[in-house]
């Protein structure tokens, strides 16, 4: 059974100007421990898709299942990383990392200890009582990841999580995030418009059509299946081939 399943999912929303169909007939199955990237042009409903899986939005048609159960609202099984870290500037690093536990009323001394351990493990030891503005972009992104992982979700949704970082940091943080997520055997669905990023991290890349977004094609990425890291994948001879194929598909739509 797939961990995440979308069945004929469609979403319409209404504005004064009329009705907009953001997504149509999306069928997707994501297996446990799989890393799936979704690419598409801006405005094709990529982020909307994540909002549907996270339960922030309800589909107009079809259904979203997680672990075989229909999604009713934001569930602790799903962690969502937004485009920027959105750390709260009035909270210390530790308190930011504990936000999810606090909101979910899961803040026990053991879990706090785990979060502290994660901060320690991921190079943020000694920064617990700092404020976000004292940290670099890469460090802040790691805090955001720990905040997401703290509630122990099975599925992680990443919405262009590296777009706020400069290119150099993007590669480094991406490498690290993938390592952490593989270590913890998480299932990941990442949305991006960066084809290289999509290929370098995922087992599967899914291409969406422009609005109304629907699945155009799927590409199995061999390198990730073989356990290569994102940077190793980028250097792999086959990387170009995948890139060209996906780039052409996105371009045909334009």
Q: Interface with other proteins by CB under 8 A: which residues?
A: 54, 56, 73-76, 79-80, 82-84, 86, 88-91, 99-100, 102-104, 131, 133, 151
Q: Which is nearer to other proteins, 58 or 179 (CB)?
A: 58
Residue 246 has which token pair?
């996906």
Cβ at position 100, least distance to other proteins in Å: 4
Q: Which is nearer to other proteins, 18 or 73 (CB)?
A: 73
Per-position DSSP letters for 161-180, written without gaps between them: TTTTS-HHHHHHHHHHHHHH
Could you tell me whether strands 204-208 and 18-30 are parallel, antiparallel, or unpaired per DSSP bridges? unpaired
Question: Looking at the DSSP assignment, which residues form a beta bridge with residue 20?
Answer: 13
Q: Which is nearer to other proteins, 89 or 183 (CB)?
A: 89
Cβ at position 239, least distance to other proteins in Å: 32
Residue 79 has which token pair?
């962690």
Radius of gyration of the CA atoms of the chain, in A: 18
Cβ at position 243, least distance to other proteins in Å: 31
Cβ at position 32, least distance to other proteins in Å: 21
- Per the CB < 8 A criterion, the answer to whether 192 and 207 are in contact is no
Residue 113 has which token pair?
């200890």
- Per the CB < 8 A criterion, the answer to whether 181 and 122 are in contact is no
Cβ at position 234, least distance to other proteins in Å: 30
Q: Which is nearer to other proteins, 105 or 248 (CB)?
A: 105
Cβ at position 163, least distance to other proteins in Å: 13
CA distance 87 to 76: 19
- How many other C-beta atoms are found inside a 10 Å radius of the C-beta of residue 97? 27
Q: Which is nearer to other proteins, 76 or 125 (CB)?
A: 76
- Per the CB < 8 A criterion, the answer to whether 172 and 206 are in contact is no
Per-position DSSP letters for 114-160, written without gaps between them: HHHHHHHHTT-TT-TTS-GGGS-HHHHHHHHHHHHHHT--SEEEEES
Q: Which is nearer to other proteins, 86 or 247 (CB)?
A: 86
DSSP reduced 3-state for 34? coil
Q: Which is nearer to other proteins, 65 or 164 (CB)?
A: 164
Cβ at position 104, least distance to other proteins in Å: 6
């Amino acid at each position: 059974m797939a961990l995440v399943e979308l069945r004929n999912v469609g979403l319409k929303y209404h504005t004064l100007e009329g009705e907009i169909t953001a997504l149509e007939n999306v069928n997707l199955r994501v297996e446990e421990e799989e890393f799936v990237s979704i690419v598409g042009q801006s405005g094709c409903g990529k982020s909307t898709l994540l909002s549907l899986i996270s339960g922030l939005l309800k589909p107009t048609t079809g259904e979203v299942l997680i672990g075989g159960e229909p999604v009713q609202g934001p569930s602790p099984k799903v962690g969502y990383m937004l485009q920027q870290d959105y750390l709260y500037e009035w909270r210390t690093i530790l308190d930011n990392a504990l936000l999810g536990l606090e909101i979910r009323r899961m803040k026990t001394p053991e879990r706090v200890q785990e979060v502290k351990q994660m901060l320690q493990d991921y190079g943020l030891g000694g920064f617990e009582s700092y404020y976000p503005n004292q940290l670099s972009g890469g460090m802040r992104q790691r805090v955001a990841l720990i905040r997401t992982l703290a509630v122990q979700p099975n599925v992680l949704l990443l919405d262009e999580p590296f777009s706020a970082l400069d290119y150099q940091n993007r590669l480094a943080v991406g490498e690290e995030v993938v390592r952490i997520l593989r270590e913890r055997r998480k299932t990941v669905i990442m949305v991006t418009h960066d084809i290289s990023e999509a290929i370098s991290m995922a087992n599967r890349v899914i291409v969406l059509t422009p609005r109304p977004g629907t699945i155009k094609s799927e590409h199995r990425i061999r390198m990730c299946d073989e356990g290569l890291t994102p940077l190793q994948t980028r250097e792999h001879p086959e990387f170009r081939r995948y890139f060209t194929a996906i780039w052409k598909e996105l371009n045909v739509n334009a």
